[in-house]
Structures are given as C-alpha cells and as structure tokens.
C-alpha cells in the first residue's frame, strides 16, 4: 500500500511538471474516409523525429502497446486492429531486451471505427504511442480533430466570447477589483494553523529537543547559533514552498487545470481512499513512512558542517515528519488547489512558516526548551483525534465525486449521519470508553480530554437537526462541507434551484433571452458542485430575506457549473481557440462554462458573480466570495440601479 501511495504522488507531480517539458513528438495529420453511414477509416500520418523510433505492433512483448486511438465521443468505437505502413525495421531493442518492430522516418496508422448513434460533425480524441531513443523511453499522446463526412447533426456555434465585455471599464465602479489578492492572507492563515497542528504530532514535536541539541553542539558562539537557526528555518520554509512550483507551470498552460484537478472524479475517489488509509494509520494500526532509503540519504548529508548540511537536516525533518504532516498537507493541497497556484503557494507558505519558526527560534534560543511540555501520551491522543477528523474529511472527497457525477450516493442527510457516527466514536474515545491500539487502558482521561469530549457531544447535537427537514437543517457553520440543502433524501430533486422562488436557469443563452423578455438585469453565478465558498454564499448570504427577495424580484439568475462532468450534446462538443491562441476541447458542461468564465471575465475561481444588462454590457465590477450579506446586497442594488439608468 505504501509503495502504491507514493507512486501515485510521484505520478501526480510528474504529470504537472510534464506540462513544461518539450519532448520529441510525432506531428500527426489525421483524415477520415467514409465507408457507409456508420463506418469510417481514420488515418494518421507523420514523421518520426530523427534518432527516434515509434513502436509498431509487438504482441509478444508484454506491456508494449501499439499505436491506439481513443475518442471523446462515447459512441465511436474502434473495430479491429490498427494497420501500419511506412519505414519499418526489426531491431534488438535495449529497453525491452527483445526483438521488436519499429518505425523510423515516415509512419502511417489507420483504424476502422463504427459510430453506434448520431454521427457528429467532427471526431476528436487522442493518439497514444510509444517512442524510444537508445535507452530513453517516452509514452506520448497527441490530440486530434478531423471532419466526418455525412454527419447527422450540425455543429453548434462555438462562440464563447462576448464582444461587449470591457472588464476595465464597467458602467459603474462598484464591486471588487482585487478578487484573488483578497483571500491569499486568509489561505496563508489556514496553512499556518495547519503547520501549528503539525507541530503537535508525535512525528514532529519530539524532534525539537533533538534539533536544539544538534545546533547547540555545532555552534561555537551566539552569532553562529543565530545564523544556523535562521538558515535551518529558512530551508524548511523553502522546501514546503517549492512544492507549489509545478502548479505555477501547469497554470501557465491551462488556467482551469486547478479546477479540473480538484474536481476530477477519480482523483477525489483516490484521495478518499488515501485519507481513509491515513486515518487508519493515525489510529495506530500501522505506520506510513517514506521509504527509509530517502530519509537515510538525506540524514547522511545533514552532518556536513556547512549551509549544505543545514539544508539536508531541514530536508530530513520534512521527510521524517511526513507520516504526520502529509495528511494535513493533503488537506491543504486539495482544499486550495481549485483556487489556483497562488492560493496554493500561500497555503504552503503558511504551513512551512508555522513549522519552521519554532525550530529556528529554539535553535537560536535553546534555553526556551525548559518551557515546553514533555513528550508523552498526549501526543498519541492528538494523533488519534486527527484520525477521526481525517475520516470526516475523507467523506468530503467522496462527496465531491458524487456531486460532480450526480450519482446520488451521499445525499446531504446520509453525509451528516456518517459525520454523527464518526463524532460519536471520537466522543467515546475522548471519554476513555473506546480504546484504540497502544492505549493505556488503565489510564483515566484527563480534564482536557473530558472538555474535548464535551465539545464533541455539543457538535453532535448541532448536527442532528441536519437530518431533518426543519428550519434548523441549514447548518450554517458547516456550509460547504455537507452537500447542498437541495441534494436531499427528501425528494428535492431540483438540486440547482438554490431555494429561490423561480427555478434557476443553467444556460446562459436561455437566461439572456429571459432577461430581454422581462427587461431585467442578468446575474451570472459561476459556481461548482465541489465549491465550498459557493455553498457558504448560497446557505448564509442568499438565505437572508433581503438578499433572497432582491434577487428573486429584480434579477434573472443563471448558475453556471464549471465542474459539471455531464457530457454536452454531441453537436455542441467543439474545439475552441482561446484568446491566447490555444486549442481547447469543449466536451462537458463544465468545460463550456469554465472556458466562458475565463475568456470573458479573466477569472477561474468560484464563486464569481457578474451583472450584465440585456445588451451584455458589464454593469459593475464582478465580485467573489462576499460573506457580509449587507455588502453583497449593496453590490446587487448598485447593479440594478445602473441598469435602470441605462433604460
């Protein structure tokens, strides 16, 4: 399990850093030939880069797949094997230690395909193939799009850009001109709190006296102690900060990648499993550690009497503490990644700063150690309390996947019911009724554990109304963690209605048409199924009677879900050229509205609220998460008053 976990983490980071690498690749030209109304031959031709070779059909070599086509449209299925032609050769391959067929120079591959239903105007998909050069091996893929003759539907318009939007000069100056910067300090603070929690874990806290002892022996005078302590803390901080670099590289390629990662169904399912495993480890049933060779190699270098030695000592701390801090970092990663690279950097900076500061200060002022509590059973209690919290957090990842795919597995009341069971388990543990591995069964709970147990019981009582249909079912303190109120076992199937009197529209063109017919301004709500702050706005701000009534009476509301993985109708699946010249596939509802938001409003975070008039002019600056309902209402009124002036 440990090897698979760390292989997945390595794959995730290599996937992100791969965006910045310019690897050799075949430039494919793809065409199709129609055989009958449902069958086509798709052909891809290209030239293999000099010195490289593309593997052909080699069924006798295990793990070596031939060139293959995969299609975005689920009704297109390959039939039979891929056919090759071109400059082929049989070689003794050093990578697989076998005789294989490869292509150098020109290569052509063709595939028979069958379309079981509507024939789309174009076929889009991915060509996957393996390349090698001596001992260097690459798994490559290339996107393609080709026209299908005899399509049974016409292509829909791919016009996503609104030409009348002028972000710099809205009609009115009300609103927020610094959406992202506003939240960075808050995310930094959350990361800082996470770092402080990490300090109290059994993997980190006992390291403080060990570290101080090391620096005390190595520092000949006070000045040297200050220098060593400063660099030690700085390196801890920089190591954590550097973990966000791949996400900045990925963001330069495709801004919405953060939302795609954070709401990806399989990634959320994997994180659910990973966090369950972490929780079981925290309970004491087994221990997760990085491979010992990594820690040993870093530790062997930490004895160097130089800045380099201090760096490797900091690296050793980060590695050794991973089994306790990894789960906190994972929560931070998934919680902030949908907001973009800079919020993730802010969170990691806060975490690294909180972890580095005490180590640096104790290294500089070793006499402070006398004020620290001794390591003991209380650290094990902290770890096991964290285990219960991890179980609750794991459920959030499964809920994200459930909401995005509309499976209906974790309706709101089911989610809250499981949280109640987890909280009951935590309360029983804190009161000493439930025993876990390595617990001293003869030890009675202390005052702090009893107080925490009492707070847990109060939390359970707070959760119970969430199982009902009463007016107290809206657990405002937890908005964004459970599924929305409308995602309910009580038959509230219109999960996109958000409690407003009229049904919320989820299509921009239909909402604009309604706004023109009713002569009302258009309120665009860029939202997401897995968006915590979106739920906070809907359940804490929009439920205020003044806000609720004002939106219902004066606006046409359109909610556009940027993470909805439902496929678009086949004729609406297009390749779109963004304003910076990139080609982007629009395959799902979420693809369409995420691109719509990025192209027109230069934002990829949610929630984002925009007010337009019936001529699609921007009436005010867009605003993001605004927890003060009076401030949000003032912004709504400004947009409506601006609209009235333009009539």
In terms of phi and psi (left: phi > 0; alpha: psi -120 to 50; beta: otherwise), the region of 608 is beta
Phi, psi dihedral angles at 303 (to 5 degrees): -80, -5
Identify whether 594 is preceded by a cis peptide bond (ω within 30 of 0). no
CA distances from 197 to 355, 383, 389 (A): 9, 10, 12
Which pairing describes strands 53-55 and 98-115: parallel, antiparallel, or unpaired? antiparallel
The pLDDT assigned to 67 comes to 93
Q: For residues 528 and 594, is the Cβ–Cβ distance under 8 A? A: no
Task: Report the Cα–Cα distance between both ends of the chain, in Å, rounded.
Answer: 65
- Please name the helix (run of DSSP H) or strand (run of DSSP E) that holds residue 133, with its range, or none: strand 122-133
- Residue-wise pLDDT for 263-312, tens only, equals 677 877 887 887 788 788 778 786 655 445 544 554 555 454 567 677 77
> Of 516, 502, 539, whose CA–CA distance to 617 is shortest?
516
Q: For residues 417 and 424, is the Cβ–Cβ distance under 8 A? A: no
Structure tokens at 344: 């993730």
State how far the Cα of 159 lies from the Cα of 489, in Å rounded to an integer.
39
State how far the Cα of 128 lies from the Cα of 151, in Å rounded to an integer.
26
Q: Three-class SS string for 234-284?
A: HHHHHHHHHCCHHHHHHHHHCCCHHHHHHHCHHHHHHHHHHHHHHHHHHHC
The pLDDT assigned to 498 comes to 54
**Which three-class secondary structure state does DSSP give residue 37?**
coil
* HSE, side-chain direction, 13 A CA sphere, residue 340: 18
State how far the Cα of 531 lies from the Cα of 525, in Å rounded to an integer.
12
Directed axis angle between helix 207-218 and helix 307-320, to 10°? 170
Which pairing describes strands 522-527 and 556-561: parallel, antiparallel, or unpaired? parallel
State how far the Cα of 464 lies from the Cα of 33, in Å rounded to an integer.
62
State how far the Cα of 351 lies from the Cα of 189, in Å rounded to an integer.
8
Q: Which residues contact 190 (CB under 8 A, 6 or more apart)?
A: 332, 335, 336, 347, 350
Q: What angle do CA 120, 121, 125 make, to 5 degrees?
A: 70
- Residue-wise pLDDT for 626-643, tens only, equals 889 999 999 999 999 999
State how far the Cα of 626 lies from the Cα of 542, in Å rounded to an integer.
11
Radius of gyration of the CA atoms of the chain, in A: 28
Q: Helix H segments across 373-478?
A: 377-405, 412-430, 447-463
Q: What angle do CA 393, 399, 400 make, to 5 degrees?
A: 100
* HSE, side-chain direction, 13 A CA sphere, residue 493: 1
Q: What are the E-state strand segments in 453-605? A: 522-527, 556-561, 574-577, 583-586
- CA torsion 605-606-611-614 (nearest 10°) is 90
State how far the Cα of 597 lies from the Cα of 606, in Å rounded to an integer.
10
Q: What are the E-state strand segments in 57-208? A: 68-71, 76-93, 98-115, 122-133, 136-147
Low-confidence ranges of the chain (pLDDT < 70): 1-23, 157-158, 176-183, 201-222, 225, 246-263, 286-306, 308, 319-341, 363-364, 366-379, 491-503
CA 270 remoteness from chain centre? 12
Structure tokens at 276: 């369950």
> Of 149, 138, 114, whose CA–CA distance to 54 is shortest?
138
**Which three-class secondary structure state does DSSP give residue 611?**
strand
């Amino acid at each position: 399990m440990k090897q698979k976990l760390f292989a997945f983490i390595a794959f995730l980071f290599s996937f992100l850093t791969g965006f910045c690498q310019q690897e050799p690749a075949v430039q494919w030209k793809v065409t199709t030939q129609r055989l009958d109304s449902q069958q086509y031959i798709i052909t891809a031709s290209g030239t293999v880069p000099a010195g490289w070779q593309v593997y052909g059909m080699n069924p006798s070599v295990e793990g070596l797949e031939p060139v293959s086509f995969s299609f975005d449209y689920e009704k297109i299925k390959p039939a039979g094997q891929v056919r090759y032609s071109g400059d082929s050769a049989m070689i003794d391959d050093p990578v697989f230690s076998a005789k294989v067929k490869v292509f150098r120079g020109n290569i052509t591959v063709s595939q028979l395909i069958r379309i079981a239903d509507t024939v789309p105007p174009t076929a889009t998909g991915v060509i996957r193939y393996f390349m090698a050069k001596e001992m260097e091996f690459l798994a490559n893929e290339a996107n393609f799009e080709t026209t299908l003759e005899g399509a049974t539907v016409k292509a829909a318009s791919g016009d996503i850009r609104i030409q009348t939007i002028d972000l710099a000069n809205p009609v009115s100056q009300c609103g927020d001109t610094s959406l992202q910067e506003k939240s960075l300090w808050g995310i930094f603070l959350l990361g800082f709190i996470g770092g402080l929690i990490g300090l109290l874990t059994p993997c980190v806290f006992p390291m403080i006296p060990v570290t101080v002892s090391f620096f005390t022996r190595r520092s000949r005078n006070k000045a040297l102690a200050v220098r060593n302590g400063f660099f030690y803390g700085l390196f801890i901080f920089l190591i954590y900060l550097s973990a966000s670099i791949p996400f900045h590289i990925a963001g330069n390629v495709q801004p919405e990648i953060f939302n795609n990662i954070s709401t990806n169904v399989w990634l959320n399912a994997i994180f659910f499993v990973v966090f369950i495993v972490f929780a079981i480890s925290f309970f004491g049933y087994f221990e997760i550690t990085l491979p010992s060779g990594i820690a040993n190699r870093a530790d062997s270098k930490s004895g160097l009497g130089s800045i380099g030695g201090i760096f490797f000592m900091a690296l050793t701390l980060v590695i050794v503490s991973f089994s306790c801090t990894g789960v906190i970092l994972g929560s931070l990663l998934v919680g902030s990644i949908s907001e973009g690279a800079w919020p993730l950097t802010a969170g990691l900076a806060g975490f690294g700063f909180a972890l580095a500061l005490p180590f640096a200060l104790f290294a500089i002022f070793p006499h402070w150690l006398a004020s620290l509590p001794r390591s003991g059973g209380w650290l094990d209690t902290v770890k096991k309390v964290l285990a219960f919290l991890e179980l609750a957090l794991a459920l959030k990842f499964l809920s994200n996947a459930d909401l995005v795919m509309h499976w209906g597995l974790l309706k709101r009341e089911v989610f809250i019911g499981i949280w109640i069971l987890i909280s009951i388990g935590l309360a029983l543990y804190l009161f000493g009724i439930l025993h876990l591995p390595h617990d001293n069964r003869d030890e009675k709970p202390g005052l702090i554990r009893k107080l925490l147990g009492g707070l847990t019981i109060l939390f359970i009582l707070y959760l119970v109304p969430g199982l009902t249909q009463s007016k107290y079912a809206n657990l405002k303190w937890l908005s964004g963690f459970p599924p929305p109120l409308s995602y309910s076992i009580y038959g509230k199937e219109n999960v996109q209605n958000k409690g407003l009197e009229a049904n919320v529209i989820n299509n921009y063109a239909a909402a604009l048409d309604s706004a023109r017919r009713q002569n009302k301004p258009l309120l665009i709500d860029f939202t997401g199924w897995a968006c915590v702050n979106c739920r906070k706005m809907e359940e804490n701000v929009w439920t205020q009677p003044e806000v609720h009534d004002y939106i219902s009476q004066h606006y046409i509301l359109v909610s556009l879900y940027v993470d909805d993985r439902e496929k678009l109708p086949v004729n609406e699946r297009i390749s779109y050229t963004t304003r910076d010249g990139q080609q982007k596939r629009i395959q799902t509802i979420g693809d369409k509205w995420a691109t719509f938001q990025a192209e027109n409003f230069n934002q990829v975070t949610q929630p984002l609220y925009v007010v337009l008039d019936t001529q699609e002019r921007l009436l005010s600056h867009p605003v993001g998460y605004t927890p003060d309902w009076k401030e949000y209402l003032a912004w709504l009124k400004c947009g409506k008053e601006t609209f009235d002036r333009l009539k």
